[in-house]
Amino acid sequence: MRLLTVPNWSFGRNKLLLRRFEELLAQEGVVVHFLQSDLDHNRTVSAFSGSERAVLRALKSLASEAFDAIDLNRHQGVHPRIGALDVCPILPLRDDDESTEELNQAAQSCVHEFGQWIGSEWSVPVFLYERSAKPGHESRLPALRKGGFGGLFDQTLPSDFGPDQVHPRLGAAVLGVRGFLIALNVNLDSPSPLAAQVVAQKIRALRKSGDNRFLGVRALGFALASREMSQVSMNVTLPDFTPIDPIIDYVEEEAAKRGVHFAGTELIGVIRPRDLEHATRLRVQPSQIIEGAL
């Protein structure tokens, strides 16, 4: 039984910690699909797969290193965040004839064991999201992140594991089983984020209006000061219904109307083989193609 996890960590400028992540993942016997830090986001995204036990060991090893090093009070970056381990989705992978129920049970088991460990060992409150959220609890990541790290203080948190008060240095963690999504960035050649922000806002409005081109698309616009560029950063949460190329085309066309030119794309994390036909404009490394994702 294999699992895929894509934990997002709130550091992007600590090269020693990134190197330590590389060493730990090599030791744990998991398959690394993606491991990349971003200076402007001040964020590191990792994606790896393996047996349930190997994935769990690797998550605990990485978290121990990261939690020793990260202090969100000194953190600056364009990406929204509420924790040192900001979000950690876990997804089942199908190899043979496992039932969907068996796969989901394995993923949920990993979520609960890791969540309990974070809460008890590190006193970090854990929110379960998406398919792991309890009835009546908020399940959407954007809503859980609302207010950011600072917004968690001076309140009693509805945590699923760990304390009901924010950790003063590590914040809170969001963890759960979710469906497959594609995370991508479209970079623009303007250092001003205005065009990127306007395009992202238009995408959100079109999604809300029911435009089929943007079903399940979440979009934000950022400045990338270190690269003198800007970026429309997106999560496509319904990739079975929403092809990628038309989204990239739309961003390019709308930015051009504002005098800003397309500067390339980035795939953050992984993609399934069946998504590639409609994602020809994405730069994809072979290691990022994941087999067995539902």
Please list the residue range(s) of the chain that carry CATH number 3.30.70.670: 182-288
CA–CA gap between residue 133 and residue 64 (Å, rounded): 25
pLDDT of residue 294: 87
Interatomic CA distance for residues 53 and 169, integer angstroms: 28
Give the closest residue to 207 by CA, choosing from 216, 198, 199. Answer: 216
Q: What is the CATH number of domain 182-288?
A: 3.30.70.670
pLDDT at site 139:
86
Residue ranges of the chain whose pLDDT lies below 70 = none
Domain with CATH 3.30.990.10 in the chain: 2-177
H runs (alpha helix) in the chain: 15-28, 52-69, 100-122, 141-145, 194-209, 244-257
CATH superfamily of 2-177: Formiminotransferase, N-terminal subdomain (3.30.990.10)
* Tokens 């003198």 -> residue: 228
Of 147, 146, 166, the C-alpha closest to 156 is: 166
What was the pLDDT predicted at 133?
Answer: 95
DSSP class per residue in 92-136: EE--SS--HHHHHHHHHHHHHHHHHHHHHHH---EEE-GGGPPTT
Q: Which of 182, 184, 195 has the alpha carbon at shortest distance from 252?
A: 195
Residue 157 — φ and ψ, nearest 5°? -95, 140
Q: Model pTM? A: 0.96
